Amino acid sequence: MENGQNILVIIPAYNEEGSVGKVVEEIHTHLPQVEVLVVSDGSTDRTSERARARGATVLELPFNLGIGGAMQAGYQYACQRDYDIAIQVDADGQHDPKEIVKLLRSLEEKMIDVAMGSRFLGTSEFKSSLMRRMGIFIFSRVISMIVGQKITDPTSGFRAASRKAIQLFAFNYPQDYPEPEAVVLLHQCRLKMAEVPVGMSERYSGESSITKIRSVYYMVKVLLAIFVDCFKKPPLLRQEGERC
C-alpha cells in the first residue's frame, strides 16, 4: 500500500443491510487508499444500496450462491482488475478494519501468499460457546495435521491474499465450507500461508449462520469435505499474465 500496490477489500454480504454500511465506512476511514468491493450474494434487502451509498463498488449476484461462490466472484473481480492484494472481511462487523494493516504487514514481511487472522493466537480474548470452540479446536488439529503447519483458527474469514493466491482462488475456490477447505487447497497448491493474531468483536447485527444445534452437523460435514478434498487432484496454477 505504501509502495503503490493496488489493494481490494472484498466483503461478501447476504442480507446484511444493518451492518454493511458501517463496515465499509470504517474501512474507508482506516485505509483511505484501498478499494472496497461488496459482493451482494442475492440479497433481498437494501444491502447493495447501503454499500453503494458508502462508496463501495457492488457486485450483485443474480441469486444466492453461498459464501464460497460469492467469495470466488470477488476474487475473479480482483483477478480481472489486476489487484495485487485482496483482503476478505465479513460484512457482519466481527472483523476490525484496524487489524487489516496487520495482515498486510505480515503478507509483506513474511513473503507469504495468504495471511490469516486468528482469534486464538496471542492475547486476544474471544468469547464464544463451548461447542463452537470445541469444533474449532478439532478442525484446527485435523487441518494442522494435513497441512503440516500449525493453524489455530481455520474457520476465520479474515484473510489477505497475494496476487498468486488471488489467481488460484479466482479459478478454484471451495464452495461449501470455504474457509477450512481453502487452507487445504492452499497447501495442495504449495502456496505459503501464516496466521496473524487479531482481535474480533461481536457481530453488529444478524445471526451467525451456524446455530448451536447445527454445529455438530456442520462439523461432521466440514470434516467429510476436508477428507474428500484430500483425494482431489490439486488444480494447476495459472501462469502470470493469463487472462482471468
Partner 1 sequence: MLIKIQIIVGVLSMVLLWITFELIRKKRLREEYAILWLFTGIAVFLFSLWPEFLLSQFFVRITGIFYLSAVVLIAFFFLLLIVFHFSVVISKLTGQNKDLAQRYALLELEFKELSRRCLPSDRIPL
Q: How many CB atoms lie within 10 A of CB 43?
A: 24
User: To the nearest whole angstrom, how small is the minimum distance from the Cβ of residue 170 to partner 1?
Assistant: 10
User: To the nearest whole angstrom, how small is the minimum distance from the Cβ of residue 57 to partner 1?
Assistant: 7
User: To the nearest whole angstrom, how small is the minimum distance from the Cβ of residue 12 to partner 1?
Assistant: 12
Q: For residues 76 and 155, which CB has a smaller minimum distance to partner 1 in the complex?
A: 76
Q: For residues 59 and 186, which CB has a smaller minimum distance to partner 1 in the complex?
A: 59
Residues in the chain: 244
Q: Which residues bind partner 1 (CB under 8 A)?
A: 39, 57-63, 65, 69, 72-73, 76-77, 80, 175
Place of cell 487445504: 184
Q: For residues 58 and 226, which CB has a smaller minimum distance to partner 1 in the complex?
A: 58
Q: For residues 19 and 48, which CB has a smaller minimum distance to partner 1 in the complex?
A: 48
Q: For residues 39 and 85, which CB has a smaller minimum distance to partner 1 in the complex?
A: 39
User: To the nearest whole angstrom, how small is the minimum distance from the Cβ of residue 143 to partner 1?
Assistant: 25
User: To the nearest whole angstrom, how small is the minimum distance from the Cβ of residue 75 to partner 1?
Assistant: 10
